[in-house]
Structure 1
Amino acid sequence: MNETDYHRYVEAFNARDYGTLETFFADDFVLENAGFAVSGKPAFRDFYRFFHEFCREEVEFREFFPGRQGFVANVVIHFTGLKELSQDELDRRGYSGMTPVPVGVTVPVEFYIHYLLNDAGLIRYIKGAVWVAEPD
């Protein structure tokens, strides 16, 4: 996957085009995020079908850093609350590392996301780190 492919990946994510998005993934890929892991395409789709009912995510591309086994992308994800979601519901579903976004509020969060690729160039592993800027 190169930077041009990644822009298509982000477009598919922002459009909620899960069918196209999944063409970038190995069948057994793992997304590790906020203290939980989603393994495989069906679990990925289930997680985002649930989460995107309550929160809109819009990925803003910043930079692409290619590597030997994958790449790192610097993005800002704008989370907008769409429907009331409680911490209890997140905890019950095993997503206790996540924080609900209040309805009507948009929270921008900067990430550095590490993507590892398999031999076919498909994403086999995703893990993000949140950038916390120094206070002014």
Structure 2
Amino acid sequence: MDRAAYDAYVAAFNARDYDTVCDFYAEPINMNFFGVALRSRADMKAFYGFLHAHAMETVRVLNFASSSSLTAVDAIVRVEATRDMTPEALAQQGLTQFHPMRAGDVIEMRQFIFYTIRDGRIANVECAMAPA
């Protein structure tokens, strides 16, 4: 995935255009991060639909590298709660590993995101977070 394609992917993500985001993925989707496993368009839409109903999330790329088989991104992921994300709401979604947030809370995380590319599509996603 070259930088122009990745920028289009991030623009779709930041715009909450989940159908376009999913079009970048090989089927079945294989995204794993922080205890979350997304395996389908429905999984992706359900997870991000819940998260983005409670928070504005944006990705800002700091560093980018790619080859025919791997895209690596160093990014700041900013999550700003627009409404309370309670422990109960997180538990109902099976997301007890996530921190509750109150409306107005902001978390910025430096993440290293690795995309395995197969036939021009994202075949696997793995993330690591830099220490605070």
Whichever residue aligns with residue 21 of structure 1, its letter is V
State the partner residue of 2:65.
65
State the partner residue of 1:12.
12
Offset at residue 64 of structure 1 (A): 0.8
Question: TM-score scaled to structure 2, two decimals?
Answer: 0.92
**Separation in 2 of the partners of 1:104 and 1:34?**
23
| Partner secondary structure for residue 58 of structure 2 | strand
Q: Which residues in structure 2 correspond to 1:1-136 (within 5 Å)?
A: 1-67=1-67, 69-118=69-118, 120-133=119-132
Deviations 1:23-56 (A, max 9, x none): 1111201111111211111110111111100111
In the alignment, is the contact (CA less than 8 A) between 2:56 and 2:79 conserved in 1?
yes
Question: Please, what is the CA RMSD of the aligned residues?
Answer: 1.4
Structure 2: which 5+ residue stretches go unaligned? none
In the alignment, is the contact (CA less than 8 A) between 2:68 and 2:117 conserved in 1?
no
Of the structure 1 ranges 16-25 and 74-83, higher mean CA displacement relative to structure 2 is found in 16-25
In the alignment, is the contact (CA less than 8 A) between 1:65 and 1:73 conserved in 2?
yes
